[in-house]
Structure 1
Amino acid sequence: MSQQLKKEITLISGIGQLSTTLMGTGLFMIPAIAAGIADRMTLWAWLFLFIAVCPIALTFAGLGKRYPNAGGTAYFVRMAFNPRLERSVAWLFISVIPVGIPAAITMAGGFLQQLLPSPLNTSLWAQSITLCLLVLVNLSGSKTSGRLQSLIALSIFSLVAALLWKGQIAPQDFTMPPLTSTSLWPVASALGVMFWCFVGIEAFAHMGEEFKRPGRDFPLAILLGCLIAGLTYWACSVVILKFGAYGTPEFDVTSIPWLSDHLFGTQVSALITLVGFCACFASLNLYLQSFSRMLWAQTKQSRPQSRIARLSARGIPANATLLIAAVIYLLILLGEFARLDLSLFLKLANSVFVFIYLLAMLSAWKLLHGMARYLAGIALILCVLVFFCLGWSAMYALIIFIVLGFFPGRRTDPLQQHAT
């Protein structure tokens, strides 16, 4: 049986995977939350955010082009520094599972629950079905997954385009408000929340090895995926600002469904709910893929004869996928019965993502040369600034990185105890 991942991802499917992952849960809540913080100054915040993300995206593109590997950022760190730091990053990435994935599945389940018949329309059933669908799509292969996410991307773009058309958005709605010194703090506060919208590039880095032409298509997929997602967020924010669909906790998660009901009527509510579920599903799908490939890559390196290091006949790390899905389901049960605070989980997950970006940029500073190295330096400074802006939640990422990554002992590979 081949121990190499299949190269099935094309440029189009890669763009679809990344753009839907970046939008995911964020499109249905972040624009309204940001508007509640900065009002119309949110338009400036989106512009600043996209400018800041450009060097980060370009640096990830440069790393993926030169070092396509299922290990993602952990592999970049290994190439730049040493295997011990690689294990630290692997632990760091895995630490997102208990804080980020159950929260995201809860959001997806919230949409699916509205579509399920009784008695399946409960939170636990909806989350369970969501996880089962994720496993089935992942086990079907990257090619099938890419096609599905491209269709989801088209449905999201169609929804936003319909909102622009039905909302009669005119050129004056895109007018930027005057930028003053007093507006800088609200813009900065909004940026701290909006960075979530471009979380996903680090997960996409794990897919570089599966591109048919990684040298050309992987960098283009990152750049075009970020551009498409950024424009979609911008357009969605314009509609939300025009109709005032922000400013209360209820609008934080229901702004898009409310706008759809307001503009199209309640008869399309089921369709909008389905699009919302698909958007969340797309984001989760890439993360499950990236987690399984990172675990497979780490185990293959440390214990190549273990079952986790094997690939299925389809060239999929099936055992790694099933193991991670089992862990996620246990966490879903814990969250369902303990009623844990999802907003706290999202803040902790955000600290991990930003720190992973920071480590990737630091690796790029050492690995890349010429203009790409200077671009990585700019991206590194931006990531450091964002990381400090996270406040106390940044401690979660630091503790995981230092304590678990450098824990003394004979073996420190993440999840290695499961790899037998």
Structure 2
Amino acid sequence: MEKTSANAAGLSKTLSLPQIVALYIGAVLGSGVLLIPGMAAEKAGPASILAWLFMSVLVVPMAVTMGLLSARYPSSGGVSTFVRMAYGDRFGNMVGWFFLLSVPIGAPIVAVTASKYAAVLLKWSDAQVYAMAALILLTVLIMNTFGLQVASRVQTAVVALILAILVLAVAAALPHASVSHFTPFAPHGWLSVIKAAGLLFWCFIGWEAVTHLSEEFVDPRTNAIRGVLWSAGIVALLYAAVALMTVATHSYGNGLSEASLSVMVQLSFGPVGGWAVAVTALFICVASVNAYIGAASRIAYALSREGSAPRWFGRLHATYRTPVGGLAFLACCFAAVLGVLFLGWVDLARLIELPNATFFATYIGGCIAGVRLLHDSRIGRAAAWTSLAVTVTLYPFLGWSALYPLVIAAALLLWETRKKE
């Protein structure tokens, strides 16, 4: 009886505007800022700056769509709730499972990425890399058990540190910038700019994650859209600045692209700069994992309430009112995925394609829902249609991994059919 009352009480509203902005930035400003500027510059040369500007503008409709939906329909179900309201329970639950089954794979990949940055400097073995990754995931799980108020405060501090270091990196690169590095401007042709833009799309995914936390926003109708606009502006400026300095200092090519930020910082600070970037990489990955674990545990809670997931997924902590059932599910999945990676059964590059596909499918579902739910808003309607056109156009280019969401959908339909029998 006591457990039922606890669940009925629901989740606590603890997230203020600064914490919401920090969660959005942490979700979007992931490891891409460490890898993609150099890779994009190598692909398109200085013209890659145009791709960054294009994607920075193009991502605004996507962020606005998610922000407006969160403001109108705050729920721990996030995108799945929006789809459920627009098209019914079956499709809402399907989108919820798309997102939920992204995080058990995506979070360990990010944690391993952070560990490998440290491993380069500390000469760690594979066992030490995966032990560190497990420690990162365990720490974030514990933070989320104590509640989003604790997790979001840590997130705010971490994001502030990340922003400070990235600003320092850009400032340190300024004395080494040269106009000569911008010629030839498009050495690989203008088509390469379009290819670079497709690569950059992954740097701007993350808006959907925080929608799952909107039930815990203080004044979601006002703060959801403000949080989106503030974070979109900050993220776009940071990406553009880092990308511009990467080109201006020619910190890419000849094996440097995947560590372009480290190369750029070391121009002024030497090896100390390399350590700063390694620490920054760790914090960036922790911030990203924190946002996604918080979101996934709440979608597990929401799916349980809808009867589309096992009942224990919906268990809340008696004191902290946090979804410990969902966190327990994630912990089990993390252990399995880290084990598979450690044993070498699949490599990181191949595995990352799966959560990319389900994140994409989640966005498509959210955009389709936005078309219907935001029809009475001129801005919302335009944002939703624009986002839908972009995501649907890019989805076929995912290759074989585009089948992963279809497999999840088929498994869910089979499970629901057997449940009715």
User: TM-score w.r.t. structure 2 length?
Assistant: 0.89
For residues 115-161 of structure 1, give each alpha carbon's deviation from its aligned partner in whole angstroms, at most 9, with x where no partner exists: 87989971121112111111122112111211212222222221222
Secondary structure at the aligned position of 1:7 is classed as coil
Output the aligned Cα RMSD. Answer: 2.9
Contact 2:182 2:248 (8 Å CA) reproduced: no
1:103 to 109, 116, 129: 109
| 1:29 aligned onto 2:41 | no
Structure 1 residue 280: deviation in Å? Answer: 0.6
Is the contact made by 2:181 and 2:249 (CA closer than 8 Å) also made in structure 1? no
1:12 aligned partner:
18
The aligned residue for residue 382 of structure 1 is 390
The change in CA–CA distance for 1:208 and 1:239 in structure 2 (over 3 A counts) is same
Report the alpha carbon displacement of residue 172 of structure 1 after superposing the two structures with TM.
7.8
CA separation of 1:319/1:114 partners in 2, compared to 1, >3 Å: closer, same or farther?
farther
- Aligned partner of 2:208 in structure 1 is 202
Farther-moved stretch of structure 1 (350-359 vs 56-65) = 350-359
- Mapped to 2, the partners of 1:305 and 1:33 lie a distance apart of 42
Q: Whole-Å Cα distance in 1 between the matches of residues 295 and 53 of structure 2? A: 29
Does residue 406 (structure 1) correspond to residue 406 (structure 2)? The answer is no
Shift of 1:347: 2.6
Aligned residues between the structures: 411
- Letter of the aligned partner of 2:141 in structure 1? V
Match of 1:333 among 332, 339, 343: 339
Gaps of 5+ in 2: none
Question: 1:186–1:118: structure 2 CA closer, same or farther, 3 Å change rule?
Answer: closer
Residue deviations 1:207-235 (CA, integer Å, cap 9, x gap): 11111110101111112112111111111
**Inter-CA distance 220–412: structure 2 relative to 1 (3 Å threshold):** farther
CA deviation after TM superposition for structure 1 residue 94, in Å: 2.6
2:92 alignment counterpart: 86
Q: Give yes or no for the alignment of 1:38 onto 2:60.
A: no
User: Is 336-345 or 73-82 further displaced after alignment?
Assistant: 336-345
Per mean C-alpha deviation after superposition, the further-off stretch among 290-299 and 265-274 is: 265-274
Q: How many Å apart are 1:284 and its aligned residue?
A: 0.8
Change (3 A) 1:51 1:388: farther
Q: How far is the alpha carbon of 1:33 from its aligned partner?
A: 1.3
**SS state of the match for residue 174, structure 2?**
coil
Change (3 A) 1:119 1:354: closer
CA shift in 2, pair 1:247/1:143, >3 Å? same
Partner AA of 2:268 in structure 1: L
Change in 2 beyond 3 A, CA 1:169/1:397: farther
Distance 1:222 1:352, change over 3 A: same
Deviation at 1:389, TM superposition (A): 3.3
Aligned mates of 2:336, 2:127 — CA distance in 1: 20
- Conserved 8 A contact 2:98-2:405: yes
Letter in 1 for 2:313: I
Distance 2:180 2:27 in 1: 25
Per-residue CA deviation, residues 86-128 of structure 1 (Å, 9 max, x unaligned), is 2211221233145423321210222344687989971121112
Q: In 2, are the aligned partners of 1:55 and 1:376 still within 8 Å (CA)? A: yes
Aligned to 1:417: none
* Residue of structure 2 in register with 1:239 after alignment: 245
Which residue of the partner structure matches residue 418 of structure 1? none
SS, match of residue 100 in structure 1? helix
In the aligned structure 1, how far is the partner of 2:232 from the partner of 2:181? 23
Q: 1:280 aligns with which of 285, 297, 312?
A: 285
Alignment of 1:189-338 (within 5 A): 189-248=195-254, 250-302=255-307, 306-312=311-317, 313-338=319-344
SS at match of 1:406: helix
**Which deviations, in whole Å up to 9, do the C-alpha atoms of 1:161-189 show, x marking residues without a partner?**
21222222699869998998984421111
1:396 aligns with 404
Alpha-carbon distance in structure 2 between the residues aligned to 1:150 and 1:70: 21
Q: Within 1, Cα distance between the matches of 2:34 and 2:392?
A: 28
Percent identical across equivalent pairs? 25
Shift in CA distance, 247/170, structure 1 to aligned 2, threshold 3 Å: closer
Distance 1:50 1:412, change over 3 A: farther
Cα 1:234–1:347 shift into 2, 3 Å:
same
Matching residue's letter, 1:254: A
Do 1:88 and 1:404's aligned partners in 2 also have CA atoms closer than 8 Å?
no
Distance change in 2, residues 1:117/1:412 (3 Å): farther
Is the CA contact 1:20–1:229 (under 8 Å) kept in the aligned structure 2?
no
